[in-house]
Chains A and B, each alone.
Chain A
Amino acid sequence: MAIDQPKNKDAVDTMVEVRNITKYFGDLKVLKGIDFKVKRGEVVCIIGPSGSGKSTMLRCLNQLERITDGEIYIEGELMDQRKNDKTINHIDADRLQQLRCDLGMVFQNFNLFPHLNVIENVTVAPITVLKANKEKITKRGLELLDMVGLKDRAYEYPVRLSGGQQQRVAIARALAMNPKIMLFDEPTSALDPELVGDVLATMRQLADDGMTMIIVTHEIGFAREVADRVIFMDDGVICEEGTPDEVINHPKEERTRSFLKKIL
């Protein structure tokens, strides 16, 4: 496994860097030039109205959507560079695979694999992709399930779990790949209100453990409490960013203010 050493201190500290990303869906320009950096251990919450491009932006990071233009760096290493929907800089396929494994993702609809039980959901990717030893990874998987409070449900099928439990399994599943960065795409939006708390608690714990996290969320309270930085997106651009206090409590932009007024 070839691991390129980051070239300088700054590169080590910048986990994700995005330069001038645009994204078209057909003729529709969803992202209109986005730049940002995320530092190691930083928790960044992205808020904004629906259709503002938050989720698309997140999905571009791990290439579930391909950017139209721009560059994406992971730990200072180029992961994607495209112009007019064409890849300019082709990354070695194995290396790209590893970079993608560095990014764990949690979806709004959990997307657990219904034909596998909970522990198999957690271990299938490490076994398939990383060729992990089944016994070892099962042990590790059970630890992760313990961490999210679901060790006793390890041998049940996802359909028997509540939404909140499914989402916590999804978090454990992503963590089993030992990602360096966790992406959350509205992780609590599909949950009944009384189930949101457990998922947020798990995420808070991850943040406390020093995980670098990018979270698209509507949970303003959570963002205020856990985020190091809040990014407000509207209409495909970053409108405003700063500490939770700056963006949520004292927004400078009118668009931010009117959005917050609507949802708070």
Chain B
Amino acid sequence: MLTSTQGWAIFHGSILTVEIALVAVFFGVILGIIVALGRISKNKIANALSWFYVWFFRGTPLLLQLFMVYFAVPIIYLNVTGSTLVIDPMLCAFVTFSLNSTAYMAEIIRAAIESIPEGQMEAAKALGMSYHQAMRKIIIPQTFKRLVAPLGNELIMLLKDTSLVSTIALFDVLRTVKTMASSTGNWVYYLYAAAIYLFLTTVLQVIFDKLEKRFGAYEKR
């Protein structure tokens, strides 16, 4: 069985895992809305920038992005300024995962916005609303229901992907159990990690099922 030290270590690892996922999904949604609006914007510059953003962050491995922020940025900083830069690995994980999830969220949000019938924007405009007002009051609120399922999916993926942070000196739940398993030669620690991941993803699934039902209320008779 686990000693209390081991138990706490696994607990802290799990907290770290959840923390990164939550921070990433929070910023991912906010920045994702902005990038999504850029993607559907008629403004060519906004359009090109957001296209490039999604193209880059979806098209390269998350692990590579993590390395670039954690290893490459300090070197670039050193070359440019001549002084050293120490990045807190936790901050690095927050930034990278947020940037990465922004790209995915942007595509999810863009698809949701584009799935709202055109008549909704027309009705809002005919009532005198500006594009901005129509987006804020009419279009974006209607995407919430359509966002719930893909958002839950994305959050679950993100939660599992956080295991990549073990490469930048962070002890998430997976790295914690791996250390224990290799120092004791006991494989059962991996089962603990699996149980924790399953527990977390199940909680997410239940929450998102509930949200989906709730947001769906106005579309049911």
Contact = CB atoms under 8 A, between A and B. Distances in A.
A62 B126 contact: yes
B214 interface: no
Given A109-B119, A113-B138, A160-B221, A128 B125 contact: no
A188 to B, nearest CB: 16
A137 B109 CA distance: 32
B130 A114 contact: no
A115 B141 contact: yes
Interface in B17-39: none
B218 A129 contact: no
A177 B137 contact: no
Contact of B123 (A101, A111, A115): A111
B137 A124 contact: yes
B133 interface: yes
Most interface-central of A107, A114, A157, A177 (chain B CB within 10 A): A114
B132 to A, nearest CB: 10
Given A115-B142, A129-B129, A159 B120 contact: no
Contact of A129 (B119, B120, B127, B217): B127
A28 interface: no
A3 interface: no
A62 B126 CA distance: 7
A107 B120 CA distance: 11
B125 A159 contact: no
A206 B29 CA distance: 45
Interface string A62-89: 1110000000000000000000000000
Given A115-B141, A157-B218, A160-B221, A177 B128 contact: yes
A111 B220 contact: no
B119 A128 contact: no
B218 A173 contact: no
B83 to A, nearest CB: 49
B4 to A, nearest CB: 50
A11 interface: no
A35 B119 CA distance: 27
A100 interface: yes
Contacts of B129: 125, 128-129
A128 B137 contact: yes
Contacts of B119: 107, 109, 111
Interface in A106-130: 107, 109, 111-115, 117, 124-125, 128-130
Interface in B93-137: 117, 119-120, 122-130, 133, 137
Contacts of B220: 159
Contact of A105 (B126, B141, B217): B126
Contact of A114 (B124, B125, B127, B218): B218
A71 B142 CA distance: 36
B205 to A, nearest CB: 24
Given A64-B125, A97-B128, A100-B128, A114 B133 contact: no
Contacts of B120: 111, 113
Contacts of A109: 119
A245 to B, nearest CB: 32
A103 B117 CA distance: 22
Given A111-B120, A129-B129, 12 more contacts: A62-B126, A64-B126, A100-B125, A101-B128, A107-B123, A113-B124, A115-B141, A117-B218, A124-B138, A130-B128, A158-B218, A160-B221
26 contacts: A64-B122, A64-B125, A97-B128, A97-B130, A101-B128, A104-B126, A105-B123, A105-B126, A107-B119, A107-B122, A107-B126, A111-B119, A111-B120, A113-B124, A113-B142, A114-B218, A115-B141, A115-B145, A124-B127, A125-B128, A125-B129, A128-B137, A130-B128, A157-B218, A159-B220, A159-B221
Interface of B: 117, 119-120, 122-130, 133, 137-138, 141-142, 144-145, 217-221
In the A-B complex, list the 9 residue pairs whose CB atoms are closest, starting with the nearest. Answer: A125-B127, A111-B123, A105-B126, A101-B128, A111-B119, A157-B218, A129-B128, A115-B142, A128-B133
